[in-house]
Amino acid sequence: MPRLQKILVVGGGTAGWLTACYLAKTLNASDARSVQVELVESPSIGALGVGEGTFPSIRGTLAAIGLDERRFFVGAAATFKQGVHFVDWVRPASEAGHHHYFHPFNHPSQRAGSPELLPYWLLGAAPAGMPFAQAVSMQQRIVEAGRAPKRMADGNYLGPMNYAYHFDAACFASVLAEHGQSLGVKRLLATVEHTELDEQGGIARVLTRELGALSADLYVDCTGLRGALIGGALQSPLRSLRDVLFCDRAVAVQVPDATPDAPIRPYTMASAQESGWIWDIGLQRRRGTGYVYSSQHTDAGRAEEVIRAYLGPAAEKLEARHIKFDPGYRPEPWRRNCVAVGLAGGVVEPLESTGIALVELGAYLISHLLPGDRNDMARTAKLYNQMMSARYERILDFIKMHYCITQRRDSKFWIDNVDPASIPNTLRDRLALWRHRPPHRLDFVTDLEMFMPASWQYVLYGMEFKTDLEPMRSAYPQGEAARREFATIQQVAGRAAGDLPDHRALVEQLCLEHAQEGRMEVAAPARMGG
């Protein structure tokens, strides 16, 4: 059997380095007898550099590649993210002031022996007017108090609250590059200009400007929106998602903090606008912001006005970066001996931060499905393609739900978003079911879903979706127990908010401790020798 000996990752953004690290760690690439992992990145083509919000799966991924959490905080200028705070997604501010709801990462509380709380919340057992997320999870109180999800003493990637991160995308790629090389990834600096195919239509070699020909048994295309190998040489087509998700442009502005001790929000803000929405995330020294919008409904000039108005005087003289993307994915991201990961495989707009989570999934699947025989890739490719396509379709429904259950009718963008023709049948069916019963675990094939039932519930009920459980009231006789549980959650939330540290304080302490550990490591040999 011709053994798989070498993998070449083409591209050095988040997708390239995360995949290379994952492959190198899983395949033990630092052992010369193992599969070798090389990464070639262009010194002249920049990375997109805007993927700065993540999903909690990132913790498992960073732990799996063996990166220390403190090292990551320092290297990637990271902060904590505990969910997404949505503003004005249900109604425009002009109707009755700002509408808010929170999608926390914590699952709804469910203690052994106590009832599932959602039906009781729907039947009015929670304190009057209390939003679903606040009633069933303590995380909303924690973030409103500006608290971190963990304490200094909690271990690497562990904490009492579920969490992800915000980080500087360019710094993240650099820290991964350093870590990847320590795992045995060979880094090459060169731009791939041509791809030569073999007789079977697979890739024989890539030709670079600086280093000539490079060849491998498997090529991982991480060249970003270009999809230079998978879309260029192999011509794997894109399935457009434009008929469902209209946003296809962004204008991004980086806003330096006014003072070094400015509080950092421990969540992403997503504020709905006339033709899209604005992300606003807090890093260690700046905010990353951007207006994601539909070019069918507005233009770049107006979009820049909208984000500048949102930011106010803080944005004066700051550069605005305009980005185009084409929402869609490749149903066949793995073709012959080439697999695309990251933007080369597909782009879904950044609401709910699915981009990097899809990179994590791609890296995980390739590492674990990889065949040892380099001539036997077709079956693995088929399985990989089925799983990735299913994941994209589930994500598509989840993102679209944020738009299509709105009550907003104040602009053509929102009116078009509720047009039934733009809503996938799978989502329409589910929404119809959920008018009479809440989402249940059995509605989801969990291995194919990125978003668990709790996330669907937080968004549905945060957006005032109505599920009529009245006809089934008698099936829920544990109202008293549920009421006690709702009260307990509020008490525990108050205590937890007191126990957890301030967000910025913890981030700074983690970075400081890492720096001190580094100094001790450097100092130790000198003392021993002296």
3-state secondary structure of 68: coil
Task: Decide if residue 50 touches ligand FAD (CB under 6 A).
Answer: yes
- Residue 231 touching ligand FAD (CB under 6 A): no
Rounded least distance, CB 105 to ligand FAD, Å: 14
Q: E-strand spans in 200-319?
A: 203-208, 212-214, 218-221, 239-240, 249-256, 268-273, 276-282, 286-293
Position 143 contacts ligand FAD (CB under 6 A): no
> Which is nearer to ligand FAD, 134 or 353 (by Cβ)?
353
- Taking the CA of residue 65 as centre, how many other CA atoms within 13 Å lie in the half-sphere pointing to its CB? 32
Q: Please report which helix (H) or strand (E) contains residue 428, including its range.
A: helix 425-433
325 touches ligand FAD (CB under 6 A)? yes
40 scored as a contact of ligand FAD (CB under 6 A): yes
| Residue 496 binds ligand FAD, judged by CB under 6 A | no
Judged by CB under 6 A, the number of residues near ligand FAD is 40
Task: Among 29, 74, 177, 356, indicate the residue that binds ligand FAD (CB under 6 A).
Answer: 356
Single out the segment in contact with ligand FAD by CB under 6 A; choices: 131-139, 233-241, 326-334, 341-349. 341-349
Does 220 participate in binding ligand FAD (rule CB under 6 A)? no
State yes or no: residue 48 binds ligand FAD (CB under 6 A). yes
User: Are 39 and 13 in contact, with CB atoms under 8 Å apart?
Assistant: no
Tell me if 196 sits within 8 A of 204, measured CB to CB: yes
Can residue 226 be called a binding residue for ligand FAD (CB under 6 A)? yes
320: part of which helix (H) or strand (E)? strand 320-324
Binding to ligand FAD by residue 250, rule CB under 6 A?
A: yes
DSSP one-letter code for 285:
S
The yes or no reply on residue 460 touching ligand FAD (CB under 6 A) is no
Q: Would you say 202 or 290 has its CB closer to ligand FAD? A: 290
The residue from 9, 14, 450, 514 that contacts ligand FAD (CB under 6 A) is 14
SS3 category, 154: coil
Residues 6+ apart with CB under 8 A from 292: 247, 249, 250, 276, 277, 278, 279, 349, 350, 351
In the list 4, 7, 12, 121, the residue contacting ligand FAD (rule: CB under 6 A) is 12
Least separation in angstroms between CB 259 and ligand FAD: 25
Q: Which of 36, 137, 223, 417 binds ligand FAD (CB under 6 A)?
A: 223
Gap between the Cα atoms of 79 and 158, Å rounded? 15
**Which residue, 53, 45, 57, is CA-closest to 11?**
45
Contact between 82 and ligand FAD by CB under 6 A: the answer reads no
Report, as residue numbers or ranges, the catalytic residues: 81
The two tokens of residue 408 are: 């907003």
| Structure token pair of residue 527 | 């003392």
One-letter amino acid at 275 equals S
Counting contacts by CB under 6 A, is residue 227 touching ligand FAD?
no
Kindly tell me which of 77 and 482 has the beta carbon lying closer to ligand FAD: 77
Residue 280 φ then ψ, to 5°: -145, 110
Helix (H) or strand (E) holding 339: strand 338-340
Token pair for 167 = 């980080």
Task: Read off φ and ψ for residue 235, nearest 5 degrees.
Answer: 55, 40
Interface stretch with ligand FAD, choices 7-15, 313-321, 365-373, 400-408 (CB under 6 A): 7-15
Minimum CB distance to ligand FAD smaller for 226 or for 428: 226
Q: How far is the CB of 311 from ligand FAD (least distance, A)?
A: 17
| Minimum gap (Å) between residue 139 Cβ and ligand FAD | 20
Q: In this structure, which amino acid lies at residue 439? A: P
Contact 362, 342 (CB under 8 A): yes
Among 29-37, 135-143, 218-226, 417-425, which window interacts with ligand FAD (CB under 6 A)?
A: 218-226
**Smallest gap from residue 465 Cβ to ligand FAD (A):** 25
Binding site for ligand FAD (CB under 6 A): 10-16, 40-42, 45, 47-48, 50-54, 169, 191-192, 222-224, 226, 228, 250, 290, 292, 323, 325, 342-344, 347, 350, 353, 355-356, 359
